[in-house]
């Protein structure tokens, strides 16, 4: 996601970004929010979720570390607080140039719901959102469906399990029983 | 012919034992079936099969100085041969899990289908052994994210050990669960078909309390019907019993220290 440079208008550290999202909504803020887990700020840094906001309502999400967009980008920082939350203001026209692809869009209430567990704020945000944003079939509502649709997450689970199976096989002296036990 | 199928899930309480006995009873209409409680650390098949007082169990066969024959731990119940496992922790500690290989090899000589009720966890040799030894695995899933996630892990362990997938079984399915909508995607990630979707049913709990397999306790229930449908979806392969027995006997399993 390529974003126009914005002006930093608000910067806080918080356990959850609820305040920043509420502030953006109440201020009809247009721009973007950079949400970085505090431990990542101390580390090498490339671990932030960028969330664009138009007239107070979240629209696109992108994670700079995992390079995932949409709901998965939120998932990549969910529960990782405290965060440093920086709000940048951008010209509405400049933001309009950023293309909304399905991979990047989040449903308007999703950030409040997933990152701040604030369903009242999520509802308020949905009400403020343009109709076509809430009408869109966003990611599946059913958590099991959403889970099975998240190919990257499933692949990651499988990769981890495969790696663990091999490591354990070595520990238990079962490598000869592995399909490709000779490789190790 | 004989085929060994592990019934696994990666999570406790999904219904592995219920499923093992249900699939066993359904398959017993067409084949000679032997079910083994290979969940040696948390055995509970004996309670589901009315064998709580069985004098000899798999535990006795896994002792280094076992002085009982495999046959002594085989009980003919509900049209199948049932090998229960005891629940004593001491016996579990003394048992040599790797002897399971020899027990399974011996049982394989004289049956068509061996169903191994497998442990929930994957954290030890005794826990993975059923999946390592089996030809195929049936993964029992509840339609929840944690259960699917753990099921994927079992599936991947099975693949790593060259154990094929016979399919997955959704169990404890509630009205409104999205099993139909997720079946396609489930099949993309698991080996084999979605065999059936078994409803959450009081009959299953009552059967367990009565010490009977579901298919004996409530054969006409929707849950029993779904288990029969699942069993019909498992094509038992034709392998000469001696070959399988020999394969188990030569399976690479480390000696325990
Ligand atoms: N379809 C079902 N509906 C309701 N209860 C079930 C169902 N399947 C299993 N149960 C109950 O859930 C509990 C755990 O089942 P069990 O087969 O022992 O699981 P596991 O062997 O995976 O730990 C038991 O009390 C059992 O009666
Ligand atoms: Mg069990």
The ipTM is 0.88
- Is the minimum CB–CB distance between A165 and chain B shorter than 8 Å? yes
Task: Name A27's Cβ contacts closer than 8 Å, sequence gap at least 6.
Answer: A56
**B136-141/B3-8 β-pairing:** parallel
Pocket test for ligand 1, best of B25, B43, B48, B205 (most atoms within 8 A of CB): B205
- Is the minimum CB–CB distance between A147 and chain B shorter than 8 Å? yes
- The pLDDT value recorded for residue A184 is 43
Closest C-alpha among A11, A58, A56 to residue A30:
A56
Is B255 domain-assigned? no
Strands ordered across the beta sheet of A57-63? A7-14, A83-89, A31-37, A49-54, A57-63
Query: pLDDT tens digits for chain B (257 residues)?
Result: 689 999 999 888 999 999 999 999 999 999 999 999 999 988 999 999 999 999 999 999 999 887 899 999 999 999 999 999 999 988 888 898 888 989 999 999 889 999 999 998 888 888 999 999 999 999 999 999 989 999 999 999 999 999 999 999 999 999 878 788 899 889 999 999 999 999 999 999 999 999 999 999 999 999 999 999 999 999 888 777 777 777 777 766 665 54
pLDDT tens track for B81-95: 999 999 998 888 889
Whether A45 shows a pLDDT value over 80: the answer reads no
Is B78 domain-assigned? yes
In this structure, are residues B225 and B197 in contact, taking their beta carbons and an 8 Å threshold?
no
Calculate mean pLDDT across residues A77-105: 86
> How would residue A2 be classed by pLDDT, with cut points 50, 70 and 90?
confident
Whether A138 shows a pLDDT value over 80: the answer reads no
Give the structural domain span for B27.
3-247
- The pLDDT value recorded for residue B204 is 97
CA distance B96 to B106: 16
Q: Is the CB of B17 under 6 A from ligand 1?
A: yes
Count of C-beta atoms within a 10 Å radius of residue B245: 19
- The pLDDT value recorded for residue B256 is 52
Is B257 domain-assigned? no
φ, ψ dihedrals at B212, nearest 5°: -130, 145
CA distance B106 to B201: 36
End-to-end CA distance of chain B: 34
> How would residue A181 be classed by pLDDT, with cut points 50, 70 and 90?
low
Is B37 domain-assigned? yes
- The pLDDT value recorded for residue B69 is 95
Count of C-beta atoms within a 10 Å radius of residue A66: 17
- The pLDDT value recorded for residue A19 is 95
> Which of helix, strand or coil describes residue A117?
coil
- The pLDDT value recorded for residue A1 is 73
Task: Note residues around ion ligand 2 (Cβ under 5 angstroms).
Answer: B 16-17, 44
> Is pLDDT larger for residue B93 or for residue A39?
B93
pTM: 0.71
| Number of separate domains in chain B | 1
Whether A34 shows a pLDDT value over 60: the answer reads yes
pLDDT tens track for B111-162: 999 999 999 888 888 899 999 999 999 999 999 998 999 999 999 999 999 9
CA distance A169 to A181: 9
Out of B128, B177, B186, the one facing A148 most closely (by C-beta) is B186
**A49-54/A7-14 β-pairing:** unpaired
Whether A160 shows a pLDDT value over 60: the answer reads yes
- The pLDDT value recorded for residue B257 is 46
Closest ligand 1 atom to Cα of B198 = 1
**Residue B253, CB half-sphere, CA atoms under 13 Å: how many?**
25
CATH code of the domain covering residue B168: 3.40.50.300
Cα B211 to ligand 2 centroid, rounded to whole Å: 13
Domain ranges of chain A: 7-174
Residues of chain B with C-beta less than 8 angstroms from the C-beta of A168: 122, 128
Tokens (6 digits) for A139: 């990611």
């Amino acid at each position: 996601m390529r974003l126009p440079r914005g002006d930093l208008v608000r910067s806080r550290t918080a356990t959850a970004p609820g305040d920043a999202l509420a502030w953006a909504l109440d201020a009809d803020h247009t721009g973007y929010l950079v949400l970085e887990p505090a431990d990542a700020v101390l580390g090498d840094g490339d671990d932030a979720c960028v969330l664009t906001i138009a007239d107070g309502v979240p629209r696109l999400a992108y994670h700079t570390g995992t390079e995932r967009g949409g709901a998965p980008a939120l998932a990549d920082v969910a529960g990782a607080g405290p965060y440093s939350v920086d709000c940048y203001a951008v010209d509405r026209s400049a933001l309009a140039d950023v293309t909304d692809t399905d991979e990047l869009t989040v449903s308007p209430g999703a950030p409040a719901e997933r990152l701040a567990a604030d369903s009242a704020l999520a509802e308020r945000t949905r009400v403020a959102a343009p109709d076509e944003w809430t009408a869109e079939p966003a990611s599946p509502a059913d958590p099991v469906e959403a889970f099975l649709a998240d190919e990257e997450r499933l692949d990651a689970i499988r990769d981890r399990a495969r790696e663990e199976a091999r490591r354990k096989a070595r520990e238990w002296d079962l490598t000869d029983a592995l399909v490709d036990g000779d490789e190790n | 012919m004989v085929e060994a199928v592990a019934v696994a899930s990666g999570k406790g309480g999904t219904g592995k034992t219920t499923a093992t006995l249900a699939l066993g009873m359904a398959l017993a209409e067409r084949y000679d079936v032997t079910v083994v409680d290979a969940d040696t650390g948390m055995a509970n098949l004996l309670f589901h099969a009315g064998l709580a007082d069985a004098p000899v169990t798999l535990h006795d066969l896994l002792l280094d100085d076992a002085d009982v024959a495999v046959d002594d731990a085989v009980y003919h119940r509900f049209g199948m041969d049932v090998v229960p496992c005891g629940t004593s922790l001491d016996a579990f500690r003394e048992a040599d899990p790797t002897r399971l290989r020899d027990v399974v090899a011996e049982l394989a000589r004289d049956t068509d289908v061996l169903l191994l009720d497998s442990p929930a966890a994957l954290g030890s040799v005794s826990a993975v052994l059923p999946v390592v030894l089996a030809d195929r695995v049936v993964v029992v899933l509840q339609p929840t994210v944690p259960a699917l996630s753990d099921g994927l892990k079992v599936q991947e362990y099975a693949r790593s050990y060259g154990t094929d997938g016979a399919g997955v079984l959704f169990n404890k399915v509630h009205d409104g669960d999205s099993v139909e909508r997720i079946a396609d995607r489930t099949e993309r990630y698991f080996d084999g078909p979605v065999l059936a979707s078994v409803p959450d049913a009081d009959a299953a709990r009552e059967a367990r309390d009565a010490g009977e397999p579901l298919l004996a306790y409530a054969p006409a229930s929707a849950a029993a019907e779904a288990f029969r449908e699942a069993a019909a979806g498992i094509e038992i392969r034709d392998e000469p019993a001696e070959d399988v027995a020999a394969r188990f006997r030569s399976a690479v399993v480390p000696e325990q220290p």
